[in-house]
Amino acid sequence: MANRTWIATHTGLPSFSVDAGVRVTTGARVLWHGEQAGVFSDALAAPGVPTTYQVGRETVTLTRRTIPGGGMLLTGADGRPVDGLTAWNNQDPMSWKSDASVIDDRLTRWSMRTPLHTGKTHCVLPASAEADAWRVIKARGHIIIAPGDATPGVPARMVTVNSVNRERLGADGTITLTIQWTEAGPLDVERLGGGAVAVITWGDWQAWSDRTGNKADQSEVTLARLIAGMPS
């Protein structure tokens, strides 16, 4: 099977189908180590930003689909975003605090590990999206937050949620969420696959099956062609 790269039609994610022995990287992130063949997408690609990947010996550039109109991404471990979120008054505030311990006027000590950045993200969402947003936020795992289009200096981030403040904006049920977070360290990003997620999830298959009436068993590669538009 030849290696294939494309933008998945149902998610807009940079996607890959590679043979065993093919390593896939972008910058410092390793999405696939190559021990076996794989079909996967990159959930940490920033929307609207051309991302260059090393796929075995080949270099390819793919651009994740954007969310127009000031939209933003809030996704769980599967890389599927909550629909209807909009960035609100978001200046991307972020902070860092040293863990230096000044014992007296002659001695200062630092821990072996550098503290992580913390920050907060503001978003607006309709009442219809609130339950899905809380489902993602309350999951016992990292989430991904990103602007919906290319935004200089604001990457897609894998984070741990520390706390969330909710406010109601109006009679139509529109709400705001302020998410306080700690950015994931490089070891966590690596442990979680470097951003690699399944091209087709169970939910993707269920939605496609309900729409088409096709309940037949299919291979992962076949479903990637039928649902995600993987080139033949």
pLDDT in tens, 140-192: 899 999 999 999 989 999 999 999 999 998 788 899 999 999 999 888 889 88
Name beta bridge partners: 7.
14
Task: Supply the pLDDT for residue 70.
Answer: 78
Query: Domain ranges in the chain?
Result: 4-228
pLDDT digits (tens, 9 = 90+) for 179-210: 999 999 888 889 888 999 999 999 999 999 99
196 three-state secondary structure = strand
The span from the CA of 222 to the CA of 216, in Å, is 11
The packing angle between helices 220-228 and 202-212, to 10°, is 60
Tell me whether strands 72-75 and 143-147 are parallel, antiparallel or unpaired. Answer: antiparallel
Does residue 53 surpass a pLDDT of 90? yes
How far apart, in Å, do the first and last CA atoms of the chain sit?
10
Distances (CA, A) of 157 to 79, 101, 123, 174, 186: 12, 29, 15, 25, 11
The span from the CA of 205 to the CA of 217, in Å, is 11
Structure token digits, residue 177:
């969420």
Structure token digits, residue 135:
């489902």
Q: Evaluate the CA torsion angle 187, 81, 154, 90 in order and state its sign.
A: negative
Q: Which of 35-39, 115-119, 195-199 has the lowest mean pLDDT?
A: 115-119
The span from the CA of 137 to the CA of 157, in Å, is 14
Query: Which of 92 and 59 is assigned the larger pLDDT?
Result: 59
Task: Supply the pLDDT for residue 108.
Answer: 79
Task: Supply the pLDDT for residue 137.
Answer: 95
Task: Supply the pLDDT for residue 171.
Answer: 83
Does residue 1 surpass a pLDDT of 80? no
Task: Supply the pLDDT for residue 6.
Answer: 97
Given the structure tokens 């894998």, which residue do they identify?
A: 158
Dihedrals phi, psi of 205, to nearest 5 degrees: -65, -40
The CA-based angle 68-71-73, given to 5 degrees, is 120
Task: Supply the pLDDT for residue 111.
Answer: 76
The span from the CA of 208 to the CA of 23, in Å, is 30
Position 220, amino acid: E
